[in-house]
Chains A and B, each alone.
Chain A
Amino acid sequence: MKRWNISWLNVVTHIGALIPLLVLIWDYANDNLTVNWIQAVEQRTGFIALNLLVLSLASTPVQTLTGYRPVHYIRRPLGVWAFVYAALHFIVFSVIDYGWDWSLLREAIFEKPYALVGFAALVILTPLALTSWKWWKKKLGKRWKRLHQMVYLAGILVIVHYAWVVKGTIITLQGNVLLPVLYGAIVALLLIMRLPPVKRNITRWRTSLQGRIHARRRMAS
């Protein structure tokens, strides 16, 4: 029964992660991507990657909060899918947008902070995606966990990348900053929930709440 639960959640995750790609292809085929379609594809793939990465980062805190263990098993597929969209995002940017013109790319990526932090996040996600298989997990042992904790840094870099691409300033909260601020707050919350003392308190609060509910049910029946 439990096994079935996990694979069911896995299938939903894979299908859910594939749908935005199918929608993107559909929109491309039907000319729904504005007259500046390259930029539209860049923005779309980037936004999907961001969402999948945030969901992946959310699985452990959701488990802490609810005690529902199966969500733990989808953080890996969510992370790998986030990497797939991030890689697509980078390929469209470098190959289609910049025509693989190395001098232009060098300027865009290494001399401009916003592309640089996005690129750094992709560089971090690449080894994580490549070592996400069970075989690697066994082979790397303790180092695997430490390596995969780099995803927290990737999450922060992606938020900075997103905040820097919009027009406006975060500091004065003026301009187009609502979504980057919202996503930044979510990622900050998810990271705070991983801090051991915070996590302990949440777990304690949850178990005591569940205990009370149980007790009340028992009394009622």
Chain B
Amino acid sequence: MSVRKLKSEPVKSSEITPEHVYLNRRQFLKAMGITSSAALLAACGVDGGPSSTELPTEVAAEAPVEPAVIPVDELGEAANTFEEITNYNNYYEFTVVKQQVADLAKDFPIEPWTIEVGGLVGKPRTFGMDEILRMFPLEDRVYRLRCVEAWSMVIPWLGFPLSALLKEVEPLADARFVGFQTKNDPDNMPGMFSMYPWPYYEGLRMDEAMHDLSILSVGLYGKMLLPQNGAPIRLVVPWKYGFKSIKSIVKIDLLADEPKTFWSAIAPDEYGFYANVNPEVDHPRWSQATERRIGETARRKTLMFNGYAEEVVGLYKDLDLTIYY
């Protein structure tokens, strides 16, 4: 298994992000009413009416426009299209049929939205989405996403490091794990009648959560996240199987002990707590050695830690990855 060499520093994708995506991003921020000028105009009530009222709907209703220059990740892999990313989703709260999630989730209410951060922290706090967007500068991160079902995509996320949010609440010394919970909203999530231990729950070890690659994402392709991708805010941990990157988060707990996570509660021998992408450790029933990148026909070899080995291998140097899968 050859692992491609990466730069040791996480790539600043600003070098490769096309300009108009940035323009979109600015529009996005403006839409959320959080650029300083918009705030100022709104505060003064001078000429701020038209622009600040029409932008949000404009952005939300905007048809997906493919950028002229396709974003690429640090390996030079082109991002999947907006169409692909928003129409092939695993989100079992809505349905297990991937191509139907977009339609079933389109009216999922995401306003108002708060995230309660508590547990072993010095300053427990409930953040509103507007606060979050004001507090944490957004970055473009083009990441590979590898599903445990052996397909993958490249996605240009917009988000901020999870560590930035965790630092705000001042984790206590005995906080060794971080747990995340998806919104528990059966009235608006038609798939929640099925036989699963709802609500969806995921977890990371503290050092994984503090790693710079771990982000909370609020957008992709410079636009706000759509519900099928985990709006309004989701985790993205690119070196782990996709199911770790929990969607539509309402609660974050800092914990002393490893939490019971959704899939490992269902089948502990098949879905471990760590769930690191690893071509050498198979799912008991199928191989993880290869994957199909959406949009391609031939299979590719799966990379160790999904190609992020250099950045994250240090986290696991004392761990037997065949036992802690």
Interface: B290 (CB within 8 A): yes
| B residues in contact with A36, CB < 8 Å | 88, 98, 151, 292, 294
Count of chain A residues with a beta carbon within 8 Å of a chain B beta carbon: 30
Give the distance in Å from the alpha carbon of A173 to the alpha carbon of B295 in the complex.
Answer: 34
Q: Which of B282, B285, B299 contacts A98 (CB 8 A)?
A: B299
Asked if residues A34 and B88 are in contact (CB atoms below 8 Å), the reply is: yes
Whether the Cβ atoms of B287 and A107 lie closer than 8 Å is yes
Across the interface, A114 reaches (CB within 8 A) one of B84, B194, B285, B294, namely B285
Q: Mark B277-305, 1 if CB is under 8 A from A, else 0.
A: 00000100111011010110111000000
The digit string for A96-107, where 1 denotes a CB below 8 A from any CB of B, is 111101001001
B99 on the interface (CB 8 Å rule)?
Answer: yes
Q: Is B197 an interface residue (CB 8 A)?
A: yes
Query: Known contacts A35-B294, A39-B151, A96-B297: does B287 contact A176 (CB below 8 Å)?
Result: no
Q: Which residue of B lies closest to A96 (CB)?
A: B297
Report the bound CA distance from A175 to B264 in whole Å.
12
User: Which residues in B have their C-beta under 8 angstroms from that of A38?
Assistant: 292, 297
| A174 part of interface (Cβ distance < 8 Å) | yes
Whose C-beta in chain A lies nearest to the C-beta of B90?
A: A167
A-B pair number, CB within 8 angstroms: 72
Shortest distance between the CB of B24 and any CB in chain A (Å): 23
Residue of B nearest to A181 (CB): B195
B290-A169 in contact (CB<8A): no
Closest to B298 in A: A99
Are B99's CB and A34's CB within 8 A?
yes
User: Which residues does chain B contribute within 8 Å of A174, judged by CB atoms?
Assistant: 195-197, 266-267
CA distance A144 to B318 in the complex (A): 60
List A contacts of B297 (CB < 8 A).
38, 96, 99
Question: In the bound complex, how far is the Cα of B296 from the Cα of A99, in angstroms?
Answer: 12
In the bound assembly, the distance between CA atoms of A85 and B290 in angstroms comes to 25
Per-position 1/0 for B259-276, Cβ under 8 A of A: 000010011001000000
Q: Which chain A residues lie closer than 8 Å to B196 at the CB level?
A: 174-175
A177 within 8 A of B: yes
Judge if B96 is at the interface, Cβ distance under 8 Å.
yes
Residue-wise, chain B 93-105 has the 8 Å CB interface mask toward A (1 for contact) of 0001011000000
Q: How many residues of B contact A (CB 8 A)?
A: 30
Contacting residues of chain A (16-60) with chain B, CB-CB under 8 angstroms: 34-36, 38-39
Chain A 63-122 interface residues, beta-carbon cutoff 8 Å to B:
96-99, 101, 104, 107-108, 111-115
Nearest-neighbour CB distance to chain A for B269, whole angstroms, equals 9
Q: Is the CB of B267 within 8 A of A168?
A: yes
Q: How far is the CB of B36 from chain A (nearest CB, A)?
A: 39
Contact A115 B294 (CB under 8 A): no
Which residues of B have CB within 8 Å of A173? Answer: 195
Nearest-Cβ distance from residue A163 to partner chain B, whole angstroms: 10
Give the residues from 164 to 191 in chain A that come closer than 8 angstroms, CB to CB, to chain B: 164-165, 167-169, 172-178
Query: Are A176's CB and B96's CB within 8 A?
Result: yes
In the complex, residue of chain A having the shortest beta-carbon distance to the beta carbon of B294: A35
Enumerate chain B residues within 8 angstroms of A172, measured Cβ to Cβ: 266
**Nearest CB of B to A94, in Å:** 12
CB pair B266 A177 closer than 8 Å: no
B87 at the interface (CB under 8 A from A): yes
Are B266 and A112 neighbours in the complex by a CB distance under 8 Å? Answer: no
Residues of B within 8 A of A165 (CB): 285
A152 to chain B, nearest CB (A): 24
A47 to chain B, nearest CB (A): 13
Give the Cβ gap from A164 to chain B, nearest Cβ, in Å: 5
Q: Which residues of B sit under 8 angstroms from A101, Cβ to Cβ?
A: 299
Given A36-B88, A38-B292, A104-B290: A169 touches B266 (CB 8 Å cut-off): yes
The list of the 6 closest CB pairs from A to B, nearest first, reads A34-B99, A35-B84, A114-B285, A174-B266, A35-B88, A169-B267
Could you list 17 further interchain pairs (A-B, Cβ under 8 angstroms) beyond the known A112-B282, A173-B195, A178-B194?
A34-B98, A35-B84, A35-B87, A36-B88, A39-B151, A104-B289, A111-B287, A112-B286, A113-B285, A114-B285, A114-B286, A167-B266, A168-B267, A174-B196, A174-B197, A175-B266, A176-B194
* Residues of B participating in the A interface, judged by any CB pair closer than 8 Å: 80, 83-84, 87-88, 96, 98-99, 149, 151, 194-197, 263, 266-267, 270, 282, 285-287, 289-290, 292, 294-295, 297-299
Residues of A within 8 A of B (CB): 34-36, 38-39, 96-99, 101, 104, 107-108, 111-115, 164-165, 167-169, 172-178
Could you list 12 A-B pairs, sorted by A, with CB under 8 Å? A34-B88, A34-B99, A36-B294, A38-B292, A97-B299, A98-B299, A108-B287, A112-B286, A113-B285, A114-B285, A167-B149, A176-B194
